[in-house]
């Protein structure tokens, strides 16, 4: 691999960030298919390839958004089929999560206690943040927990390939909470577990939320180099 290629890969990884406002411009379906084909080069234990994707555009996207926003507005509590967050957050994850929330709501001018504004921002998840393409990821529920490892690699490949083609993404765990609603409007089989969703499209770089940048802990905080 050439030095240029290594630098390009690092640059794509470092330039990816979660986008929460998209332009309405459509994405060429051939490009979406290409990205999925590239992403499917992700490694998986014994090459099991546990992924399954619903690519939503046009009327299908609208049907899913309408049904899920209606469910969201109903106030009924929906829950995912697997535990994504701990029941009680603890350090250092609690502080990191709070920091992320404060940064996002700070940029949007949503202050502590402004519950309705926060709810409306949360609801934007279920509009795929206006992206022209919504992805819903499922996995056969007979597969064990370990398959989430390779599923994450597959999803990251999608985000990075998309970025390298000038597209942006937001991975969205929130879609798994609404699996019951998704099952009503999509041909998801009972044996499929709804893993996640993802917004895909061209970033609206003029949107206020586009300014959001997240930080990372230094390598020394999560790594021990051991040679003895
Ligand atoms: C599996 C997964 C689920 C996520 N779910 C959501 C979500 O439901 N809504 C959202 O706005 N962001 C979601 N995110 C984005 C994270 O908030 C984001 O990745 C994190 O804050 C780091 O920021 P960055 O992606 O911009 O680097 C999710 C990310 C991952 C990896």
Give the nearest ligand 1 atom to 20 CA: 11
> Which of ligand 1's atoms lies nearest the C-alpha of 213?
26
| Assigned domain for 60 exists | yes
pLDDT at 172: 98
Q: Inform me whether the pLDDT recorded for 173 exceeds 90.
A: yes
Number of continuous H segments (helices) and E segments (strands) in the chain:
9, 4
Ligand 1 mean position to 170 CA, how many Å? 6
185: domain CATH number is 3.40.109.10
Question: What digits encode the pLDDT tens for the residues 178-190?
Answer: 999 999 999 999 9
Flag whether 117 is in a domain.
Answer: no
In angstroms, what is the span from residue 228 Cα to ligand 1's centroid?
Answer: 37
Query: Which residues on adjacent β-strands are paired with residue 49?
Result: none
Say what percent of the chain tops pLDDT 70: 100
Angle in degrees, CA 221, 226, 228, rounded to 5: 150
Rounded CA separation 50/43 (Å): 10
Say how many Å lie between the CA of residue 1 and the centre of ligand 1.
31
- Per cent of the chain over pLDDT 90 is 96
Task: Please tell me the residue having the least CA distance from ligand 1 atom 9.
Answer: 172
pLDDT interval class at 13 (50, 70, 90): very high
Tally of structural domains, the chain = 1
Q: Is 176 in the pocket of ligand 1 (CB under 6 A)?
A: no
Alpha carbon nearest to ligand 1 atom 27, residue: 17
Domain residues for 145?
17-84+126-218
**CA–CA distance, 155 with 137 (Å, rounded to integer):** 9
CA 214 to CA 219: how far, in whole Å?
Answer: 16
- The pLDDT of residue 2 is 79
For ligand 1, the distance from its centroid to the CA atom of residue 220, given in whole angstroms, is 23
pLDDT score of 5:
77
Three-state SS string over 56-120 comes to ECHHHHHHHHHHHHHHHHHCCCCCCCCCCCCCCCCCCHHHHHHHHHHHHHHHHCCCCCCHHHHHH
Q: Say if 11 falls within a structural domain.
A: no
- Residue 187 is assigned to a structural domain of this protein: yes
Confidence check: pLDDT of 200 > 90 = yes
In a domain, 158, yes or no: yes
pLDDT, tens digit, 9 for 90 and up, residues 56-109: 999 999 999 999 999 999 999 999 989 989 999 999 999 999 999 999 999 999
Cα-to-centroid distance, 173 and ligand 1 (Å): 8
The Cα–Cα gap between 32 and 53 comes to 11
Answer whether residue 196 shows pLDDT above 90. yes
User: Which residues share a beta bridge with 15?
Assistant: none
Pick from 168, 170, 196, 214 the residue to mutate for probing ligand 1's pocket: most ligand atoms within 8 Å of its CB: 170
Bond preceding residue 34 cis, omega within 30 of 0? no
Ligand 1 atom 8: the closest Cα is on which residue?
172
105 is a domain residue = no
Is 133 a domain residue?
yes
- Share the mean pLDDT of the chain: 96
Question: Maximum Cα–Cα distance for the chain, whole Å?
Answer: 60
pLDDT in tens, 133-165: 999 999 999 999 999 999 999 999 999 999 999
Looking at residue 79, its pLDDT comes to 93
Note the pLDDT of residue 95: 97
Mutate to test the pocket of ligand 1, among 173, 176, 216 (most ligand atoms within 8 A of CB): 173
* 138 lies in some domain: yes
Say what the pLDDT of residue 6 is: 73
């Amino acid at each position: 691999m050439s030095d240029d290629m290594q630098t390009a890969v690092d640059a794509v990884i470092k330039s990816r960030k979660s986008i929460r406002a998209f332009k309405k411009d459509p994405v060429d379906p051939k490009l979406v298919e290409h990205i999925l084909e590239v992403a499917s080069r992700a490694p998986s234990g014994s090459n099991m390839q546990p992924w399954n994707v619903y690519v939503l555009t046009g009327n299908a996207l609208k049907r899913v958004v309408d049904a899920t926003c209606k469910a969201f507005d109903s106030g009924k509590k929906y829950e995912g089929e697997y535990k994504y967050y701990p029941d009680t957050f603890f350090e250092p994850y609690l502080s990191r999560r709070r920091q992320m929330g404060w940064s996002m709501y700070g940029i949007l001018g949503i202050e502590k206690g402004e519950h309705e504004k926060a709810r409306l921002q949360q609801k934007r998840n279920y509009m795929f943040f206006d992206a022209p393409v919504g992805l819903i990821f499922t996995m056969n529920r007979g597969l064990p927990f370990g398959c989430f490892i390779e599923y994450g690699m597959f999803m990251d490949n999608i985000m990075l390939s998309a970025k390298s083609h000038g597209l942006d993404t937001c991975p969205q765990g929130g879609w798994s909470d609404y699996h019951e609603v998704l099952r009503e409007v999509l041909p998801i089989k009972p044996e499929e577990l709804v893993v996640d969703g993802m917004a895909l499209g061209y970033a609206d770089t003029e949107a206020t939320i586009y300014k959001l940048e997240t930080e990372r802990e230094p390598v020394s905080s999560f790594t021990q180099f051991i040679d003895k």
